[in-house]
Structure 1
């Protein structure tokens, strides 16, 4: 029987309380006065919404206010290691003279930095007594109520600078038989690597175990030729914000066992034997499987160009960047092809396109891009993906992030979901699988009619568990 969408009866989410949580212990005065300048990697993400991820947990033995206070306390202690994220974005006006003598004109620009002033992260306690764990996990369709489990909904990075809002927030939502623990983090100050580093630190402090990860590296990394701070060609931060109307979308969550991923990888590499000069990875094989299926589900014409964008982590690719670097350290790449080629040339050919896009990122290309950015700044806008006439796709997150290890003290997560931030037709999110060992999961966001066809696609659905 085809999967159906779950309608959650009485699924309203009610906010019980909001508060600001400051690092515990507080940062020393010299740190509280610190200004952290933002890199091109950071500033490029100022026009997108927050990273929003959370885990679905079983019901804690001591429910109610007791466990909420325990989570707030451990969040404050985790925040002490990541104290810049308890700060606020600060805007400075820069007046540039173009050097034209008496006929000179004033060119207005701004800089945006992160002021480590310990004003605090937001902490929200909410309840959803009409929502059960099964409501979220029983169907491949993701119920819309999940978006209400996240704070800072709809906030783009630059908006936090306008309203002096927190760049980080957490929300604990009590369900009928479980709890959902979520975070929202401005993408203008950090990426998914920092997000899950903080989330893991929080869960381990809540659990009371020895921390498995080192403290984050707080010093921002710039190429030598980069001006600091970087002037941005806007009169105000409001000028960076472009409100966009997105068509309706629906989401599905698909699990892929380690065995099914292994088969996709073997098939992709077999098809490219004698042609490929490097091994196609498991992730590239899975995303190629998805790309081909989405082209079919969208019923794209064979000549229509389709584009798959994905982030490439740079912490292991650039000397001087530590694995625990706090901030953005991601290079964007994209593979392009006509839809007919993607659908007809096979899994291996499509996966090889993704492999070559990732391989194009090396230290020289990263440094060159960062050095050139201040002269001609460009900003990621999710609306640009929407403009690609139905042919655009993009993936965020990574299966390398340890999601299911985030036990807060009463059991491992039974699921992971993301919030409504940046959700539009073609947005995909990849996670490690719930069974580990090379299993993976995909959260797929598409127009409703295309998603229905994807779920009915026997070739695609033959791989998920």
Structure 2
């Protein structure tokens, strides 16, 4: 790889401030205020030892054509999630360094062998149009095996308590994630062919943060955590010499065969002369974020209250919690009673569309929204708001999902923040069903989960499984600073949560 490659930059990454997402590279020592020093960057290719066929070269690499569910996500930031781990044991408690990084790089390569398309690159093919027509483009994932980015960084001045302890998430966390400031289409637009996947291992003073960034145009959160779980289990199974038995890994293999509705053309032709034409950058107002834990008992109480107040089908635990959040955020924003507010929820299609298996390693997620005025949300109670969310989710039956995907190519619509976001919206992604705290890489369970700066806008609420299990939930809430201050001072809301994600 030549020195002009975009993955060769090294230096100190300083925690950056919104709205700009690009990490600032600065010179100086790692002792600079919560600085993150990049030690090395490299491309990690799938390990042939784990999948003898994955490293084989052929004149024509396999092509994965992107579906409507994939293509509509090319315009959003990458999926950025990571776990905070205790410091590995070692002489004098000094585990880490070269051996730790090489172990994680080796296990990442082995996991990548199972998910080998993610070591490929997005490819664009253009078709010249007739007179007055811009032509079309198609986008696919080419299984070139070029590799995923792997970053080793050090944040010597940051402790586990700095990350997991405060109510407000420190901005340095955003610097623990690679491929920041990019949307999915950037991987194929312009002169640089960016990887679709990157991992970063950041050594802290007394812990390790392990993170991944995945292009949302090629996969969703279910596939993201499937890969993350595979990586941690392979690392956990490795012996002192880096050996492991692939057969001992119980994670099911991913399914890369894409699902297309019968009437959808393959590949899908996008009516643009250049892929860059679909990108709309979004500069949102500055936000702050906090991490909240909903104990299992609080979740049960919210669900019982929502169902007692609601008439109709049973309300789920998750929607009961989201309704609680919706009402509290509406109060904290001090919206006029007549202003419309909405709650957008990302809903998985696995289990809703019969031909989409659970191990499907592409995008199988769509959005639905509940809408009401601020006055209605505040006046009608928890059960009413939860019922509104429940009806929105229930509207996404198999027929609706298949019909929507089948029509998409006729009038392509992409996921945008620009032109969609407004100061009365709340949106939730991720899922409390994803296995986060089972990601033991071989020296202990995670003590916290956090996300990067991607898609961080006023109204973003990211949900996770709770660290204590048993139906507990964790949530990152991102709001304008004034609204967040009012939210965490709202006793009616905060009575259901604790303000730390640690045991």
* Corresponding residue for residue 266 of structure 1: 304
* Contact 1:47 1:380 (C-alpha < 8 Å) held by counterparts: yes
Gaps of 5+ in 1: 1-7, 98-103
> Residues 107-135 of structure 1: CA distance to partner in whole angstroms, max 9, x if unpaired?
41111111100000000000000000000
Give how far 1:358 is off: 0.6
Q: Distance in 2 between matches of 1:451 and 1:188?
A: 31
* Corresponding residue for residue 322 of structure 1: 357
* Corresponding residue for residue 463 of structure 1: 496
Give how far 1:28 is off: 3.1
Aligned length: 447
* Contact 1:268 1:285 (C-alpha < 8 Å) held by counterparts: yes
* Contact 1:284 1:355 (C-alpha < 8 Å) held by counterparts: yes
> Residues 212-270 of structure 1: CA distance to partner in whole angstroms, max 9, x if unpaired?
32100111110111111111122112212222211100000000110000000000001
Aligned: 1:133 with 2:164 = no
Q: Distance in 1 between matches of 2:412 and 2:276?
A: 16
Question: Which of 288, 306, 320 in structure 2 is aligned with 1:250?
Answer: 288
Task: Give the alignment of 1:224-235 within 5 angstroms.
Answer: 224-235=262-273
> Residues 272-310 of structure 1: CA distance to partner in whole angstroms, max 9, x if unpaired?
1xx21x110000000000000000000001110001001
SS in 2 for 1:151: coil
Task: Give the alignment of 1:106-255 within 5 angstroms.
Answer: 106-162=133-189, 163-208=192-237, 210-255=248-293
* Corresponding residue for residue 88 of structure 2: 60
* Contact 2:134 2:272 (C-alpha < 8 Å) held by counterparts: no
Q: Distance in 2 between matches of 1:314 and 1:307?
A: 21
* Contact 1:91 1:110 (C-alpha < 8 Å) held by counterparts: yes
Q: Distance in 2 between matches of 1:12 and 1:142?
A: 16
Question: Which of 35, 39, 43 in structure 1 is aligned with 2:63?
Answer: 35
Q: Distance in 2 between matches of 1:106 and 1:343?
A: 50
- Counterparts in 2 of 1:190 and 1:31: CA distance versus 1, 3 Å: farther
* Contact 1:31 1:116 (C-alpha < 8 Å) held by counterparts: no
Q: Distance in 2 between matches of 1:385 and 1:327?
A: 24
* Contact 2:178 2:200 (C-alpha < 8 Å) held by counterparts: yes
* Corresponding residue for residue 297 of structure 1: 332
Give how far 1:95 is off: 3.0
Aligned: 1:370 with 2:397 = no
- Counterparts in 2 of 1:31 and 1:65: CA distance versus 1, 3 Å: farther
* Contact 1:10 1:131 (C-alpha < 8 Å) held by counterparts: no
What RMSD over aligned residues (CA atoms) do the two structures have, in Å?
1.4
Question: Which of 354, 370, 378 in structure 1 is aligned with 2:389?
Answer: 354
- Counterparts in 2 of 1:107 and 1:235: CA distance versus 1, 3 Å: closer
Q: Distance in 1 between matches of 2:180 and 2:414?
A: 20
* Corresponding residue for residue 4 of structure 1: none
- For normalisation by structure 2, the TM-score amounts to 0.87
- For normalisation by structure 1, the TM-score amounts to 0.94
* Corresponding residue for residue 309 of structure 1: 344
